[in-house]
């Protein structure tokens, strides 16, 4: 498996980052441990989480994902072999206020480190922008965490092009830590949030890019093709918006290309992202062992220029 350097860091990422939002939500602790064991054995050792995962699930209060990952790393004794990323940016309450103030960051990082049972994070992301905290304040908070050895590198997710650029400018002008990685939402059905100014900024500043919702919350696997497919599914609220003419046309195209290569739809959707300029590694999750086949298929799959073009065209809004 080929690993890439993430931006200007010394962190090496596998071709696909494993998304930890499933832990403590669609997977319980035992199931999570089984999946974590398998992805680690396969070489997918980059795990992405966030402090609020998975507060949206009934009965959860946030921190469930980090806690499971921490207990797994402790039980396996493999922390030094994991590239570990988590995020900060809002209170833990359901629908909590966004907050990237120095005070909140200092409190949140200690909570995350405790849940993850580690004394450092490889990557610490600004999860959301509160659109009020000066970028210098946020970056100076990260500077202290880096100086204290609690964080190695920082990244950002969901920032506007303006705030991302302002943060990069402040880092340069004020000798503050620079965001080394950006994490946008990006997939065949959600292209606008990355393609354009954000992508330009990432390329110009040599930022690594690890995009989330790579499979559109599972829609691009082909699992959901009619309303009845959502029955009893925890992801219904995330995916039903894609059940429209455009979404189904994209699925039809994935069907054709997947059949040609004798791989899964998910593998084709991931390969399309992996072959896109500016992307370092997509983030994807799996809830069953059999779903991980798509990871290995995607890593080996080389889409032709024509196939990339067809997918580009059918996925345009």
* Active site residue ranges: 53
> Taking the mean position of all CA atoms in its chain, how far away is CA 56?
17
Contact indicator for 251, 225 with CB cutoff of 8 Å: yes
Phi-psi region of 295 (alpha: psi -120 to 50; beta: other; left: phi over 0): alpha
Q: d(Cα 106, Cα 124) in Å, to the nearest integer? A: 12
Q: d(Cα 198, Cα 204) in Å, to the nearest integer? A: 10
Listed in order, strand segments (DSSP E) in 52-188 are: 83-88, 121-126, 151-157, 179-183
Contact indicator for 220, 187 with CB cutoff of 8 Å: yes
Kindly report the length of the chain.
Answer: 317
Q: Which of 154, 171, 164 is nearest to 203 (CA)?
A: 164
Q: Hey, CA dihedral for 189, 300, 294, 32, is it positive or negative?
A: negative
- Phi first, then psi: what are they for 192, rounded to 5°? -65, -30
Q: Which of 113, 131, 184 is nearest to 155 (CA)?
A: 184
Q: d(Cα 43, Cα 14) in Å, to the nearest integer? A: 7
């Amino acid at each position: 498996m080929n690993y890439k350097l993430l931006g200007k860091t010394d962190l090496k990422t596998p071709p696909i980052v494993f998304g930890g939002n499933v832990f403590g939500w669609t997977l319980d602790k035992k199931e999570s441990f089984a999946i974590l064991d398998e992805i680690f054995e396969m070489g997918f050792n980059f795990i992405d989480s966030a402090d609020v995962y998975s507060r949206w699930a009934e009965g959860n209060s946030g921190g469930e994902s980090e806690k499971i990952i921490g207990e797994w790393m402790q039980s396996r004794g493999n922390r030094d072999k994991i590239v570990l990323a988590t995020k900060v940016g809002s209170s833990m309450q359901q629908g909590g206020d966004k907050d990237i103030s120095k005070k909140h960051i200092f409190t949140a990082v200690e909570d995350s480190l405790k849940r993850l049972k580690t004394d450092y994070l490889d990557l610490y992301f600004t999860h959301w922008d509160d659109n009020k905290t000066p970028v210098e304040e946020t970056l100076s908070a990260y500077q202290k965490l880096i100086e204290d050895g609690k964080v190695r590198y920082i990244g950002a997710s969901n920032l506007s092009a303006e705030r991302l650029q302002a943060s990069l400018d402040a880092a340069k002008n004020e000798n503050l830590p620079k965001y080394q990685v950006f994490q946008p939402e990006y997939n065949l059905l959600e292209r606008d949030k990355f393609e354009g100014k954000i992508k330009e900024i990432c390329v110009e500043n040599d930022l690594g890019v690890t995009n989330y919702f790579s499979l559109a919350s599972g829609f691009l696997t082909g699992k959901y093709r009619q309303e009845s497919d959502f029955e009893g599914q925890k992801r219904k609220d995330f995916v039903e918006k894609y059940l429209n003419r455009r979404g189904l046309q994209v699925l039809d195209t994935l069907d054709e290309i997947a059949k040609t290569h004798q791989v899964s739809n998910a593998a084709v959707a991931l390969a399309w992202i992996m072959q896109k300029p500016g992307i370092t590694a997509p983030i994807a999750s799996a809830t069953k062992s059999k779903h991980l086949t798509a990871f290995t298929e995607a890593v080996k799959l080389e889409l032709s220029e024509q196939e990339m073009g067809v997918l580009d065209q059918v996925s345009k809004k």
